[in-house]
Each structure stands twice: as structure tokens, then as C-alpha cells.
């Protein structure tokens, strides 16, 4: 693995058992053979419909839930085999900001208690705790007087800033941002996104940015990966993906972005894709997008396409380009 790669995922799978009848068992294939790399200092955007496995993938990478199979390498070291002090160091270095700030903060803990808890558990010397937490609050745009308030006293945007400060308290190198602005008003979203970009530049952070909002992902990300029912179907540089989307599913996602100008919207190419994503318990044979794809061919029904390189930093899993 290159020294420039922070995170590498190889054929990662996460299946959840589901009991159908008394003696039979099925599996929800939430993540089904995913492979990609995230370079140091970059932001990889991960997009897809609800239920495509984005959040599960983020949690498996951080070992919040164990993988069914596959490898996760963090700075060249296998995360799944980490134990003791090595795992403790990984926990400090890799942090997650959850989607819902209302439920990710303990309502019985003050802001100070929430932020200082991680450093205390890991034995990190922060000097004067109050000064340390105050500096973090100022870094995320909050004030010293917020130190001893409780979560219910804050707005949604302020709560998410507290959650980000809590993650920064561990001095991480890698952060999984799981739809960090989806529960916020649009005006608040912009300020949080700008702050995340500034923090990335200031601290040299590496991001996995999960979202279903393509406009937000384009603004934040250097590269974007499209995920469909547990699999990565396209990966490309941010500008390249928007200018030249190759996979029909990516084209569908981009076509769904609303355009405020009706004249431009009228001339926008429309891709008609019907149906719903298949059940993650009973996935179709071959390409998982086959039942909804307007360009489907006989081979798509039989054989699943591999993720192949079709250009500079552009990969796609589709038989149209094989």
C-alpha cells in the first residue's frame, strides 16, 4: 500500500442475519464486496439512495460493528486484527460525526463533560481541561459561555458543532462524516460545510463524507464513489463524475438534482428509471441495477460486472464499458 493512502478497503462485506421462519435464516447484504482507497488529506464522498449501505460501511470501517469478511487497512495496518493499545490508538485517530446531533449527544451531560470524556478515557494530557474545551468550542464557532449548558439548550446546528468539537478533542487524522448536515436547515448547512472544509485544511484531516445530497458532496469532495445496494458502482474525481457520469445509476442520481431555472431544466436530459431498489435479502443475479436499467443487456442478468478502470481516476462497474 502506498504511503499516501490513509484507508484502504478490500472486498469488505457486512451481512446481518434475519430469521424468516423457525429454522431458516436469511442475510441482509448491507455491504457486499466493497473496495476503495482514501488518500491522506482528501475527502472521498460516498453517495447513494437511502438503504444503499453507506452508513453501515462507515461504521464497519471504524470497527463500530464487525465486518463479515474482507480487509480494512489504516495506514497499512489491518484494523480487524487490532487489539489492546494498537486498537486504542486507532480509536483516537479515527472518529465519526453522526447524522443526528439530537441523539448523538447525551442529554444528561454538559458540553464540557461531552467533549472532555474522550480525552479522559484515553488518558490524553490536555493541560487545563476548561481552557482545552473552550479552545475547541471557539474552533467550531461556539462561545465560552456554552461550556456548562446542556444539549437541549442548543439549536440543531449548534449541537452538530458540539459533536464535531467532541471528535476533534481526540486529535484525529481520519473522520467519517455521516450525513452531518442532513438534519439541519439549508442556511445552517452551508456554515457547517464551510467549517468542515476549514478544519480539514487547518488540521490536515482525511474525510469519508457520506450523503445522499450530490450538490453537498460535490462541494466537499475531491473524489466521489456511488453506492448501490451494498456495492460501489462508480468512482471518479468530483468534477469528472458530474461532467461525465458513466453508470446509469449515477446518471439517474444526477438527473434527479433540481434545477431552479425552468429553461435550463427543460433542456436537461431526462433518464427514466422505474422501480425500487431490490431487497438486500433477495438480490437479483448478475448486475444489481439490471431490473431498473434502461440500457440493460442479456449479460447484465447473468453476470455481475467488475469495477474496471475506464479513464484517468475513473472506475465503473457496468457491462456497457467492458
The reply to whether 165 falls in a domain is no
Residues of the domain holding 247: 5-107+171-321
21 domain-assigned = yes
**Is position 175 within any domain?**
yes
In a domain, 130, yes or no: no
pLDDT tens-place string over residues 305-318: 999 999 888 999 99
- Residues 62 and 12 sit within 8 Å (Cβ to Cβ): no
The verdict on residue 268 lying in a domain is yes
pLDDT in tens, 6-43: 999 999 999 999 877 666 788 899 999 999 999 999 99
- pLDDT confidence of residue 70: 95
- Count of domains in the chain? 1
User: Is residue 124, in this structure, part of any structural domain at all?
Assistant: no
DSSP reduced 3-state for 278: coil
**pLDDT in single tens digits along all 322 residues of the chain:** 557 999 999 999 999 998 776 667 888 999 999 999 999 999 999 999 888 999 999 999 999 999 999 999 999 999 999 998 999 999 999 999 998 888 889 999 999 999 999 999 998 888 999 999 999 999 998 999 999 999 999 988 899 999 999 999 999 999 999 998 887 788 888 889 999 999 999 999 999 999 988 889 999 999 999 999 999 999 999 999 999 999 999 998 888 777 776 766 566 666 666 778 888 888 888 999 998 898 989 999 999 999 999 988 899 999 998 7
C-alpha triplet 133, 138, 142: angle, nearest 5°? 100
Phi, psi of 256 (to 5 degrees): -85, -10
CATH number, residue 269 = 3.40.50.300
The answer as to whether 50 is a domain residue is yes
How far is the C-alpha of 30 from the C-alpha of 49, rounded, in Å?
13
Cα gap 158→155, rounded to integer Å = 5
* Residue 243 belongs to some domain of the structure: yes
Amino acid at each position: 500500500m502506498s504511503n499516501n493512502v490513509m484507508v484502504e478497503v478490500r472486498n469488505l462485506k457486512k451481512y446481518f442475519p434475519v430469521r424468516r421462519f423457525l429454522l431458516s435464516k436469511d442475510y441482509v447484504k448491507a455491504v457486499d464486496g466493497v473496495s476503495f482507497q482514501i488518500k491522506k488529506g482528501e475527502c472521498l464522498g460516498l453517495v447513494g439512495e437511502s438503504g444503499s449501505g453507506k452508513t453501515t460501511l462507515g461504521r464497519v470501517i471504524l470497527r463500530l460493528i464487525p465486518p463479515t469478511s474482507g480487509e480494512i487497512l489504516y495506514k497499512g495496518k489491518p484494523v480487524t486484527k487490532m487489539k489492546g493499545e494498537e486498537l486504542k490508538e486507532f480509536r483516537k485517530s479515527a472518529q465519526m460525526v453522526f447524522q443526528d446531533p439530537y441523539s448523538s449527544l447525551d442529554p444528561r451531560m454538559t458540553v464540557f463533560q461531552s467533549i472532555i470524556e474522550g480525552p479522559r478515557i484515553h488518558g490524553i494530557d490536555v493541560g487545563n481541561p476548561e481552557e482545552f474545551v473552550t479552545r475547541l468550542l471557539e474552533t467550531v464557532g461556539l462561545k465560552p459561555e456554552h461550556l456548562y449548558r446542556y444539549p437541549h439548550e442548543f439549536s440543531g446546528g449548534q449541537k452538530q458543532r458540539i459533536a464535531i468539537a467532541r471528535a476533534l478533542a481526540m486529535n484525529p487524522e481520519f473522520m467519517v462524516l455521516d450525513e452531518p448536515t442532513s438534519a439541519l436547515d439549508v442556511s445552517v448547512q452551508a456554515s457547517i460545510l464551510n467549517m468542515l472544509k476549514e478544519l480539514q485544511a487547518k488540521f490536515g484531516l482525511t474525510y469519508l463524507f457520506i450523503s445522499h445530497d450530490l450538490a453537498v458532496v460535490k462541494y466537499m469532495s475531491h473524489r466521489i464513489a456511488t453506492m448501490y445496494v451494498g456495492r460501489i458502482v462508480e468512482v471518479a474525481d468530483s468534477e469528472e463524475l458530474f461532467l461525465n457520469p458513466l453508470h446509469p445509476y449515477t446518471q439517474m442520481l444526477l438527473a434527479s438534482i433540481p434545477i431552479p431555472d425552468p429553461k435550463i431544466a427543460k433542456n436537461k436530459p431526462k433518464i427514466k428509471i422505474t422501480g425500487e431498489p431490490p431487497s438486500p435479502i433477495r438480490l437479483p443475479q448478475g448486475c444489481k441495477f439490471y431490473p431498473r436499467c434502461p440500457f440493460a443487456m442479456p449479460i447484465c442478468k447473468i453476470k455481475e460486472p467488475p469495477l474496471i478502470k475506464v479513464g484517468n481516476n475513473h472506475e465503473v462497474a457496468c457491462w456497457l464499458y467492458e
